[in-house]
Amino acid sequence: MIIKPKTRGFICTTAHPTGCRQIVRSQIEYAKAHKSDAGFKKVLIIGSSMGYGLSSRISAAYSCGAATLGVIFDKPGTEGRTGSAGWYNTAAFEEFAHADGLYAKTINGDAFSKEIKEKTIEMIRNDLGKVDAVIYSLAAPKRTTSDGTTYSSVLKTTNSEYTNKTIDLKDNTIKEVTITPATDEEITATVKVMGGEDWLDWIDALSDAGVIEENAVTVAYSYIGPEITYPMYTKGSIGKAKEHLFETSKQITQKYKGISAYVSVNKALVTQSSAAIPVVPLYISILYKIMKEYGNHEGCIEQMTRLFTDKLSSNTAKTDENGMIRLDDYEMQEDIQKAVLDVWDNVSTENIKEVADIEGYWSDFFGLFGFGADGVDYDADTNPVYDIDSLK
């Protein structure tokens, strides 16, 4: 079939297997060129098929030389329909890793479930013995807990209505958006989905089963951002969940005296999650242009490679005064944030293409689904069926 991008709202409903493969290849080449002596040898990545999770897996394998076990929740392609981008990314990663002599297996299913935790534990026990690092990179809109209750997260403020500029991704126009505050029940549900409860459940399960090293490292990902996005993010319903995530890092470290748990605060990037948050896509578009002009713009693979080469090792981590790893350090430079604010005050539909990197935003967005990769013929007939080796 001829595979073209089809969008609905802030998601793309198609994915290109050859494009995903090419993008994974380019990330692998970057990681190969940035070797790490972090010391990790057996890494579990929970949520490993896209974005930061995928790049974490690539960097762990190709910067550190680690065996990697990934947990994903993705759909394969059929003769008449494309699979998810995460499926194609994982298939490509395993193909390259196996060709390069690296251990790489994947478990596909709901990472929140007891069943998938048990499957993962069995595979670690049989294949790896124990893991020395656990990356927790889930970004799901819903979670069903062990008692059968399903919680849904919301993207809302917490105290009062908030009005600011945003970009309408349907036509790249600048509009005002007003976000209503979440109810207490909605905040609780968002914390249940995006907080640290499941992260702790994973570490408990791995520890109880004896398949995590006593001196292991575990990292979960978060974002803080500038004051522009505070009402929607840091002080919004998501922010409450991220506060819980950070408290969980301290809880894990205290509960398991040898295990070091960290939250890594990463840079604002185009992801499926960030595309859904009002205000944030406009901020990202402006930030991209400014950071590219400064020469310090990073994508997922650059961020995750810097995590493993500069910020984190099996012995220690470079953190701020609060104990967080700060990969947003370039983004939050005072001069960059001042430049963003100057543009923010004056951005409009008429000048968006001049003052913001809207093309870069859309390039990254479609790149999430395998479109726009160099050297790929998107007019060619393409087989949407692409197997993940370890799931055959």
- Kindly list the catalytic residues: 233
Is beta strand 260-265 parallel, antiparallel or unpaired with respect to 42-46?
unpaired
Cα gap 34→138, rounded to integer Å: 25
Residues 6+ apart with CB under 8 A from 354: none
Q: How many CB atoms lie within 10 A of CB 118?
A: 12
Q: Which of 92, 45, 50, 51 is nearest to 74 (CA)?
A: 50
Other CB atoms within a 10 A radius of the CB of residue 56 amount to 31
* Interacting residues of 61 by C-beta distance below 8 A, sequence separation 6+: 31, 43, 67, 68, 93, 97, 102, 104
Single-letter amino acid, residue 150: T
The residue among 19, 15, 68 whose CA lies nearest residue 41 is 68
